[in-house]
């Protein structure tokens, strides 16, 4: 009887120890995931411009932006950079999903936007090329809602794709219309 009691006690202790170890493993996995998410958030924020003084080089131009994601990482993004001496390309976008998948798709979209903006002749051409690229190898059918444009600092002209919804959702040939707005004030030199 004492032997049976010892065996039963040993089984209970093993079960308790195994439960404690399983909880510790779960906590360690959660801590590792939290570290990975924090690192991913830091990398994602590093993809976005932060030096707005370098973009605000003309008296008539002041550039500022910030992002506060609802989660650690997500699909929201913005960008602004010079193309040539007088062109300032800008973009603000949001990926359809949230979390890690959206962050990865955001990095893809942002990279495509930057590379296409440097070689395209207009924001519309940028959007068409980016849309075509995002439609390829897109098994989750994710998409980007995007506003982008180009400011010509020489003459004050602004060419904007006012609302490009659902980039890469279904048809890469659908594009938004261009809204052209020419500022009344000439650019100061």
Stretch among 13-17, 72-76, 101-105, 164-168 having the lowest mean pLDDT: 164-168
Question: Measured between alpha carbons, how far is 60 from 19 in angstroms, rounded to an integer?
Answer: 65
Summary mean pLDDT of the chain: 80
Quote the pTM value.
0.73
Q: Mean pLDDT highest for which of 41-50, 51-60, 99-108? A: 99-108
Integer CA distances (angstroms), 17 to 27, 30, 41, 49, 181, in order: 15, 20, 36, 50, 70
- Parallel, antiparallel, or unpaired: how do β-strands 157-167 and 76-83 relate? unpaired
State mean pLDDT over 83-109.
89
Q: What is the pLDDT of residues 109-161, one digit of tens each?
A: 999 999 999 998 888 888 888 888 888 888 888 888 888 999 888 888 888 87
Contact between 151 and 61 (Cβ < 8 Å): yes
């Amino acid at each position: 009887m004492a032997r049976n009691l010892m065996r039963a006690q040993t089984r209970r202790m093993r079960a308790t120890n195994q439960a404690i170890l399983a909880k510790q493993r779960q906590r360690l996995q959660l801590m590792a995931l939290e570290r990975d998410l924090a690192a991913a958030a830091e990398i994602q924020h590093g993809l976005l411009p932060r030096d707005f003084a370098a973009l605000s080089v003309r008296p008539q131009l002041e550039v500022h932006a910030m992002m506060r994601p609802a989660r650690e990482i997500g699909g929201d993004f913005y960008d602004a950079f010079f193309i040539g001496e007088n062109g300032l390309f800008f973009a603000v976008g949001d990926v359809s999903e949230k979390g890690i998948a959206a962050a990865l798709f955001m990095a893809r979209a942002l990279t495509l936007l930057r590379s296409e903006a440097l070689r395209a002749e207009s924001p519309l051409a940028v959007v068409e090329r980016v849309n075509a690229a995002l439609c390829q190898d897109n098994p989750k059918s994710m998409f980007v809602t995007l506003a982008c444009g180009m400011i010509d600092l020489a003459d004050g002209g602004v060419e904007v794709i006012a609302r490009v919804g659902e980039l890469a959702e279904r048809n890469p040939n659908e594009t938004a219309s261009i809204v052209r707005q020419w500022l009344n004030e000439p650019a100061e030199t």
